[in-house]
Amino acid sequence: MRVVIAEDSTILRQGLVELLTLRGHEVVAAVKDGEHLRAAVTEHRPDVSIADIRMPPTHTDEGLRAAIALRSELPGCAILLFSQYVETTYAAELLADRAGGVGYLLKDRVAEVSDFLDALRRVSEGETVLDPEVVQQLFASTRKSDVLAGLTGREREVLGLMAEGRSNAAIATGLFLSAGSVEKYVTSIFGKLGLSPSDGDNRRVLAVLRYLQP
């Protein structure tokens, strides 16, 4: 993969460069703020970018806002947010373009390098990958509509795991259900949310976004 890294910590930035290079990936740019992230992605068109959220000059949400701007300017460009913080307002906006190819991992919760590299690969391939803690805080910060109130407790569990990017097989394993039962829950969720089959939209992503909408 060709990768752009945006991280204001010199040690962590260099560590990511070495980690990815040793595993055969090409780091085409490693920058320290959102402005240079946008410039690097526009110039190099990488397979995926890794971005911290809080970077200079204000150390608030520059990386996240840069990611949103890039997704608007270059639809479908893959970005993995890698941060210590959960920023719910802009994170929901980042997910709202429905295009996939976006991830949000918390630095302190990545236990294995292999998990990080797998998430990076999945994001580069167009999947949505969210840390469960990010999902929980996004859910807690949003107001659920009357339609969502119609979901059963089990359907909400299934939808939460869908939001983490889990496949039906992984959901079945996590909830100790059969694959057929999970399929029935997913179909029921789609029906209750009014998501009919469509070649142009990914219903799994739309279901998650419907749940996250304020």
Q: Domain holding 161: CATH number?
A: 1.10.10.10
131, 156, 173 — which closes off a domain?
A: 131
200: in domain: yes
Which pLDDT does position 161 carry in this prediction?
86
Which pLDDT does position 94 carry in this prediction?
78
User: What would the pLDDT profile of 59-114 be if each residue is shown by its tens digit?
Assistant: 888 898 899 899 889 988 999 999 988 887 677 777 766 567 899 999 988 889 99
Distance CA 150, CA 18 (A): 49
Exposure string of 91-125, with b = 16+ CB inside 10 Å and e = fewer, is: bbebbebebbbbbbbbeeeeeeeeebeebbbbbbe
Is the dihedral angle over the CA atoms 52, 54, 57, 62 positive or is it negative? positive
Structural domain containing residue 161: 142-212
Which pLDDT does position 199 carry in this prediction?
47
On whether both 120 and 148 belong to a single domain, the answer is: no
Nearest to 79 by CA among 5, 28, 189, 18: 5
85: in domain: yes
136: in domain: no
On whether both 30 and 71 belong to a single domain, the answer is: yes
On whether both 15 and 121 belong to a single domain, the answer is: yes
Low-confidence residues of the chain: pLDDT under 50: 143, 199-200
86, 104, 131 — which closes off a domain?
A: 131
On whether both 127 and 147 belong to a single domain, the answer is: no
On whether both 35 and 126 belong to a single domain, the answer is: yes
On whether both 119 and 170 belong to a single domain, the answer is: no
pTM (2 d.p.): 0.68
Which pLDDT does position 50 carry in this prediction?
97
Sheet with strand 48-51: strands edge to edge:
26-31, 2-6, 48-51, 79-83, 102-106, 128-130
- How many distinct structural domains can be found in the chain? 2
73: in domain: yes
CATH code of 100's domain: 3.40.50.2300
Which pLDDT does position 58 carry in this prediction?
82
